Amino acid sequence: MDEEIKIYKSDIHLVMDLASRVYKNNTLKSNSSEEEQTSFKLIRQKMGDVADYFRDKYNSSYGPFESDRNSGNPITIGGSKLGTVWSTIYKGADNKQYAAQISFVINKDLCGIDVGFYFGRASSHNKTTSTHNALVKQMKKMGKDMAKSVSDNPNILLLCQSLLDIGFHYLYDKTECHPDEWIGHIKTYPYRCQVVSTILFNDKDFISLSDIDIYVSQVLFLMNLLHADSFSTKLVNPRTYDECRQKRLSEIGRKGELYILEREKEALRKRKQLHKGYPKHVADISDNLGYDILSKDSKGEDILIEVKTTVCKKNSYRANSFYISRNEYNTYMANKKRYKIYRVYDIDGIPEYEEIDMETTNKEPDGYIVSY
Q: What is the pLDDT of residues 251-274, one digit of tens each?
A: 999 999 999 999 999 999 999 988
Do 149 and 230 touch, CB atoms closer than 8 A? no
Do 372 and 336 touch, CB atoms closer than 8 A? no
Same domain, yes or no, for 282 and 223? no
Do 96 and 120 touch, CB atoms closer than 8 A? yes
Q: Do you know the residue count of the chain?
A: 372
Same domain, yes or no, for 202 and 299? no
pLDDT at 199: 96
Residue 167 CB neighbour total at 10 angstroms: 23
Q: Does the residue 248 lie in any domain?
A: no
Residue 310 CB neighbour total at 10 angstroms: 24
Q: Does the residue 60 lie in any domain?
A: yes
Q: Does the residue 246 lie in any domain?
A: no
Residue 240 CB neighbour total at 10 angstroms: 14
Same domain, yes or no, for 32 and 96? yes
Residue 173 CB neighbour total at 10 angstroms: 10
Same domain, yes or no, for 197 and 280? no
Same domain, yes or no, for 163 and 16? yes
Same domain, yes or no, for 270 and 225? no
Q: Does the residue 79 lie in any domain?
A: yes
Q: Does the residue 244 lie in any domain?
A: no
**Helices 209-219 and 238-270: crossing angle, nearest 10°?**
110
Model-level pTM? 0.89
Our count of domains for the chain comes to 2
Q: Does the residue 242 lie in any domain?
A: no
DSSP class of residue 87 equals: E
Amino acid letter for position 159: L
CATH number of the domain enclosing 14 = 3.30.930.20
Q: Does the residue 273 lie in any domain?
A: yes
Same domain, yes or no, for 116 and 171? yes
Same domain, yes or no, for 174 and 267? no
Pairing verdict, β 302-309 and 339-345: parallel
Domain housing 38: 2-236
pLDDT at 123: 86
Q: Of the candidates 172, 205, 236, which is a domain's last residue?
A: 236
Average pLDDT by stretches of 10, the chain with 372 residues: 82 97 94 97 96 95 88 82 95 93 96 96 88 94 94 92 96 96 97 97 90 95 79 63 93 97 96 89 95 96 97 94 94 97 96 96 79 84
Same domain, yes or no, for 51 and 142? yes
Q: Of the candidates 175, 204, 236, which is a domain's last residue?
A: 236
Same domain, yes or no, for 80 and 169? yes
pLDDT at 234: 59
The whole-angstrom separation of Cα 199 and Cα 348 is: 10
Do 310 and 347 touch, CB atoms closer than 8 A? yes
Question: How does DSSP assign 139-196, residue by residue?
Answer: HHHHHHHHHHHHHT-HHHHHHHHHGGGGT-EEEETTEE--HHHHHHHTTT-GGGEEEE
pLDDT at 1: 45
Amino acid letter for position 241: Y
Same domain, yes or no, for 221 and 259? no
pLDDT at 32: 97
Same domain, yes or no, for 210 and 274? no
